[in-house]
């Protein structure tokens, strides 16, 4: 057990509202009529589709391959037919579409062959690969690929592995129920992460308003004879933030410029640990997650939902009350309003809350900031939200960065306590995305400038080379003619200056007195060379193509084959046209 807990600055204690959704055990959500699985559900590279329209897929089959190291694969949540690979509305505050695989379930729910593995018998690199290809990402809401967090820093020995079961957001109970019902699997999963990181100590942090989860985890730890410490942390929002929990449990404060591994700490959510265990010990990729469905509905409950299930179908299970006017994804503090209920449940969807005017009363009008400093008192990152607010509002983005806007975790504590009801977090989000977009524009401008300068340099070089070539040709011609007039060297000839030089190289066999024959022979030889080169070159940009692109290429090749005239007939005509063909760019 831990001798001492540390505190973090700030924080608030909103009403938790967790009781309604813990009355019932986790329910299995029924198979929806259609699944819309977005390919890009993680932070990092967007996976490429690996299936084609009309293909039959099995439950757990890879449908999107991880793109690069910081990326995670996507799998079919059930067996069925791929109806389309198209843009579908994303689970995102913008309501913009994203490339999704539409799967019509066949009802058989037939698994791919699964192989159980023991992580102890595998190389750590292999385990990380398996996790990536099983689509294991942070299920606390950030959806950062977990395998990328599992490399210990070289210089610092890994001290503590923090397992995050704090779940500080109001309304949310998905991690609570998971710990109550599947504690043993979580504890087994922790061993994978501990062994990969080589952590000396494992700390499981759970807020003290979840006694059932704490006792379930304690029992599981005892049963499996592990030495993990299950620690009850004081209930205070945002104790479940990774940096806050690390500070509470270990006393270490992770600076903005460093990763937590550099301090010898790493933090994972309990649901992430659970999916990692399922991926290795059962060979089951991440195809579902626990979602809390609560708020203004008849039956609040946690559901195990297949990823890609349209939110509308999930919400119907809870029977929303008549006065429901909006739905939030995520908690009331950090979540966002869903613009379109056709959006699917994704790996980041931990909670859906039905809102009504009674549950979330419209906030009173925004009033001027009185610089009371209440926001600075509750900020868990010890920022000065009121200063950030002034600068964001005035679009003075340089100043916001001086006041460390990128340390803000958008927890919403400042907006929660603001007596003037200023939506502070919205201003910070606006400022952040504006800074990012300017950064992108700046990079694009720099790239354009570099390309422009390179192009100018190239043009200059080409011109110089051309002049040199012309001068050389003139000199060669002059020496051929013997009585070289002095003016010929100064004024280079303009008519077909290159060919005499080229002809001289390959004209040994043919009589040099006949320039026409020489030229034709040269052309034929050059065409032969070009053809050989064309056939020898294998295009290198054909890896990692999407299915659509592959189909398109096949169709084009078929058309081309049909169009191609007989080579013998084309031979003569082509040679003629090549003679008269002008060289582009000169």
Partner 1 sequence: MITALAIMALGAVVLGAALGYASIRFKVEGDPLVEKIEAILPQTQCGQCGYPGCKPYAAAISAGEADINLCPPGGMDGVRKLADLLGREVKALEAEEKPKQVAIIDEATCIGCTLCIQACPVDAIVGAAKQMHTIIEPLCTGCELCIKPCPVECIHMLPITENLDNWKWKYPVIEIKRAA
Binding site for partner 1 (CB under 8 A): 40, 90, 92-94, 96, 98, 362, 365-366, 423, 426-427, 429-430, 432-434, 436-437, 440-441, 444-449, 451-452, 454-455, 581, 584-585
Sign of the alpha-carbon dihedral angle for 477, 479, 485, 489: positive
CB of 426 to partner 1, least distance (A): 4
Closer CB to partner 1, residue 213 or residue 405?
A: 405
- Walk across the sheet containing 48-49 and list its strands: 48-49, 62-65, 74-75
CB of 527 to partner 1, least distance (A): 15
Q: Which residue pairs, CB below 8 angstroms and at least 24 apart, start in 525-530?
A: 526/502, 527/574, 527/575, 527/578
Closer CB to partner 1, residue 92 or residue 306?
A: 92
CB of 560 to partner 1, least distance (A): 12
Closer CB to partner 1, residue 258 or residue 451?
A: 451
CB of 496 to partner 1, least distance (A): 17
| Residue 174 to residue 326: CA distance in whole angstroms | 21
Sign of the alpha-carbon dihedral angle for 543, 546, 552, 554: positive
CB of 240 to partner 1, least distance (A): 23
Closer CB to partner 1, residue 572 or residue 585?
A: 585
At 84, list the tokens: 């389309």
CB of 413 to partner 1, least distance (A): 17
Strands 74-75 and 160-164: unpaired
- Walk across the sheet containing 97-105 and list its strands: 35-38, 97-105, 80-89, 56-57
Closer CB to partner 1, residue 231 or residue 424?
A: 424
Rg (CA), the chain: 33
Residues in CB range of 30: below 8 A, 6 or more apart: 317
Beta bridge partners of 207: 233
Other Cβ atoms less than 10 A from the Cβ of 17: the count is 19
- Do the Cβ atoms of 227 and 152 come closer than 8 Å? no
| Residue 102 to residue 88: CA distance in whole angstroms | 9
CB of 365 to partner 1, least distance (A): 4
| Residue 496 to residue 515: CA distance in whole angstroms | 13
Strands 35-38 and 97-105: antiparallel
- Do the Cβ atoms of 12 and 378 come closer than 8 Å? yes
- Do the Cβ atoms of 327 and 341 come closer than 8 Å? yes
| Residue 297 to residue 356: CA distance in whole angstroms | 10
Task: Enter the DSSP assignment of 120.
Answer: G
CB of 95 to partner 1, least distance (A): 10
At 526, list the tokens: 């050059």
Examine residue 277 and say whether the peptide bond preceding it is cis (omega within 30 degrees of 0): no
Beta bridge partners of 56: 81
CB of 434 to partner 1, least distance (A): 6
- Do the Cβ atoms of 201 and 161 come closer than 8 Å? yes
Closer CB to partner 1, residue 45 or residue 283?
A: 45
Helix (H, G, I), strand (E, B) or coil at 399: helix
CB of 133 to partner 1, least distance (A): 24
Closer CB to partner 1, residue 406 or residue 436?
A: 436
Closer CB to partner 1, residue 194 or residue 432?
A: 432
Closer CB to partner 1, residue 491 or residue 554?
A: 554
| Residue 425 to residue 284: CA distance in whole angstroms | 38
CB of 108 to partner 1, least distance (A): 34
Q: If we measure between CA atoms, which residue out of 77, 24, 12, 33 comes closest to residue 294? A: 24
CB of 423 to partner 1, least distance (A): 5
At 182, list the tokens: 């599947």
């Amino acid at each position: 057990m831990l001798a001492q807990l540390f505190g973090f600055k700030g924080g608030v204690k909103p009403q938790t509202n967790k009781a309604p959704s813990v009355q019932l055990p986790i329910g299995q959500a029924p198979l929806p009529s259609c699944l819309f699985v977005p390919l890009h559900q993680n932070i990092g590279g967007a996976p490429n589709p690996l299936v084609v329209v009309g293909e039959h897929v099995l439950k757990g089959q890879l449908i999107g391959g991880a793109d690069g190291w910081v990326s995670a694969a996507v799998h079919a949540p059930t067996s069925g037919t791929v109806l389309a690979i198209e843009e579908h509305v994303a689970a995102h505050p913008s309501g913009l579409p994203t490339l999704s695989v539409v799967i019509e379930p066949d009802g058989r729910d037939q698994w791919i062959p699964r192989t159980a593995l023991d992580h102890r018998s595998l190389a750590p690199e292999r385990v990380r690969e398996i996790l990536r290809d099983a689509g294991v990402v942070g299920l606390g809401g950030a959806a950062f690929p977990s395998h990328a967090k599992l490399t210990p820093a070289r210089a610092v020995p890994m001290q503590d592995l923090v397992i995050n079961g704090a779940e500080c957001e109001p309304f949310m109970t998905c991690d609570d129920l998971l710990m109550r019902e599947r504690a043993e699997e979580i504890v087994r999963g922790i061993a994978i992460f501990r062994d990969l990181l080589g952590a000396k100590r494992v700390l499981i942090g759970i807020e003290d308003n979840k006694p059932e989860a704490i006792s379930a985890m304690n029992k599981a730890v005892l049963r499996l004879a592990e030495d993990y410490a299950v620690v009850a942390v004081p209930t205070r929002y945002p104790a479940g933030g990774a940096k806050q929990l690390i500070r509470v449990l270990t006393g270490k404060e992770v600076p903005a410029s460093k990763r937590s591994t550099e301090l010898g700490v790493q933090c994972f959510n309990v649901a992430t640990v659970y999916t990692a265990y399922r991926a290795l010990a059962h060979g089951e990729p991440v195809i579902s997650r626990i979602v809390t469905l609560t708020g203004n509905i008849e039956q609040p409950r946690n559901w195990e939902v297949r990823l890609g299930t349209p939110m509308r179908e999930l919400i119907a299970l809870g029977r929303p009350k008549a006065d429901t006017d909006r739905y939030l994804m995520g908690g009331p503090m950090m979540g966002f309003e869903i613009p379109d209920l056709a959006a699917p449940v994704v790996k980041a969807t931990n909670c859906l809350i039905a809102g009504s005017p009674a549950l979330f009363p419209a906030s009173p009008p925004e009033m001027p900031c009185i610089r009371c400093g209440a926001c600075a008192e509750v900020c868990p990152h010890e920022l000065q939200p009121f200063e950030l607010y002034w600068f964001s509002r005035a679009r003075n983005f340089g100043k916001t960065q001086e006041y460390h806007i990128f340390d803000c975790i958008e927890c919403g504590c400042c907006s929660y306590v603001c007596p003037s009801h200023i939506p502070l977090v919205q201003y910070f989000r606006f400022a952040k995305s504006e800074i990012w977009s300017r950064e992108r524009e700046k990079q694009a401008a720099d790239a354009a400038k570099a390309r422009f300068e390179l192009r100018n340099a190239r043009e200059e070089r080409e011109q110089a080379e051309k002049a040199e070539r012309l001068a050389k040709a003139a000199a060669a011609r002059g020496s051929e003619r013997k009585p070289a007039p002095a003016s010929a060297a100064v004024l280079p000839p303009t008519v077909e200056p290159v060919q005499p030089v080229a002809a001289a190289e390959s004209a040994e066999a043919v009589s040099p007195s006949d320039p026409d024959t020489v030229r034709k022979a040269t052309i034929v030889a050059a065409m032969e060379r070009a053809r050989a080169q064309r056939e020898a070159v294998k295009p290198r940009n054909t890896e990692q193509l999407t299915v659509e692109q592959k189909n398109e290429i096949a169709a084009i090749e078929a058309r081309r084959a049909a169009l191609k005239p007989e080579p013998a007939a084309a031979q003569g005509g082509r040679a003629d046209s090549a003679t008269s063909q002008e060289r582009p760019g000169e």
